[in-house]
């Protein structure tokens, strides 16, 4: 079914993954993310539409073209209109190997064109997740200034995908951001991003929902076409 939002500019092609690692009869329920560059006064948003079980029909438990602001629609909103937030998207990979796919959002115009990427780490679904993240006006949305810290301040040992934030002021970590390490103006770090591959073959076993399985550590690839005096540069990050 077509899902549309009028009056906004969508940019990055929809990406697929399983942000909350849910399934139906053993089959993962895929999620979709799409960017809407001018949908808010703060610089746009990324809409994360969560898959739902076929037998669920209650209107507050799924999304459709009449309204994507239901329980299973999450909005991640920019805080600076000049960033180009959502110009690039990638998902379907698990950078920290916890069994939940993660989402990467490019903002290549941030910091005077130097660029930035945001990494939103996947986590379990549930009422706590939805009440904090739902786009519906009674709940609010993720703002990239809440619970998303610089990479060097992110506490990997404290992150727990099963811990759900009770409100937007919670200390629960949602993810991190990375600024252009080169620092050159107009580098546009984050113009292209990819998170769905495992270049060095690192993996490990986890137990999720009483099932033991092997999980790859996805590598994060970021393009900066203006780096190196306009010749461009690609950055590769591995987080195992």
Q: Which residue has the higher pLDDT, 127 or 238?
A: 238
Q: Which residue has the higher pLDDT, 162 or 57?
A: 162
Residue 154 has a CB neighbour count (10 Å cut-off) of 18
What token pair was written down for 66?
Answer: 């009449």
CA distances from 108 to 6, 111, 233, 237 (A): 25, 9, 13, 17
Position 146 scores a pLDDT of: 63
57 pLDDT exceeds 80? no
Beta bridge partners of 203: 216
> What's the rounded Cα separation, in Å, for the pair 131 and 233?
40
Position 3 scores a pLDDT of: 44
Reference 185, options 221, 229, 140; nearest CA is 229
Reference 170, options 146, 202, 194, 190; nearest CA is 146
Position 70 scores a pLDDT of: 47
Task: Confirm whether pTM is higher than 0.95.
Answer: no
Position 235 scores a pLDDT of: 95
> Strand 148-150 vs strand 175-179: parallel, antiparallel, or unpaired?
parallel
Q: Are 48 and 73 in contact (CB under 8 A)?
A: yes
Task: Starting at the earlier edge strand, list the strands of the sheet with 192-197.
Answer: 192-197, 219-224, 233-237
Position 11 scores a pLDDT of: 55
Reference 191, options 85, 103, 33, 91; nearest CA is 85
212 pLDDT exceeds 50? yes
Q: Are 137 and 122 in contact (CB under 8 A)?
A: no
């Amino acid at each position: 079914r077509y899902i549309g939002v009028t009056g906004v500019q969508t940019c990055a092609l929809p990406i697929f993954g399983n942000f909350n690692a849910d399934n139906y009869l053993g089959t993962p329920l895929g999620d979709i993310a799409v960017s809407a560059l001018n949908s808010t006064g703060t610089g746009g948003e990324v809409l994360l539409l969560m898959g739902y079980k076929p037998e669920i029909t209650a209107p507050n438990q799924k999304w459709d073209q009449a309204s994507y602001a239901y329980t299973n629609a999450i909005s991640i909103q920019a805080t600076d209109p000049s960033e180009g937030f959502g110009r690039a998207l990638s998902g379907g990979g698990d950078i920290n190997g916890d069994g939940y796919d993660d989402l990467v959002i490019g903002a290549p115009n941030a910091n005077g064109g130097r660029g930035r990427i945001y990494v939103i780490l996947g986590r379990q679904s549930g009422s706590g997740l939805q009440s904090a993240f739902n786009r519906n006006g009674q709940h609010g949305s993720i703002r990239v200034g809440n619970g998303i810290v610089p990479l060097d301040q992110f506490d990997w040992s404290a992150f727990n995908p099963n811990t759900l934030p009770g409100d937007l002021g919670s200390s629960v970590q949602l993810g991190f951001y990375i600024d252009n390490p080169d620092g050159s103006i107009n580098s546009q770090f984050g113009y292209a991003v990819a998170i769905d591959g495992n270049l060095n073959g690192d993996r490990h076993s986890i137990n999720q929902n009483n099932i033991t399985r092997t999980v790859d550590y996805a590598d994060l690839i970021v393009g900066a076409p203006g780096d190196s005096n306009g010749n461009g540069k690609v950055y590769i990050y591995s987080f195992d």
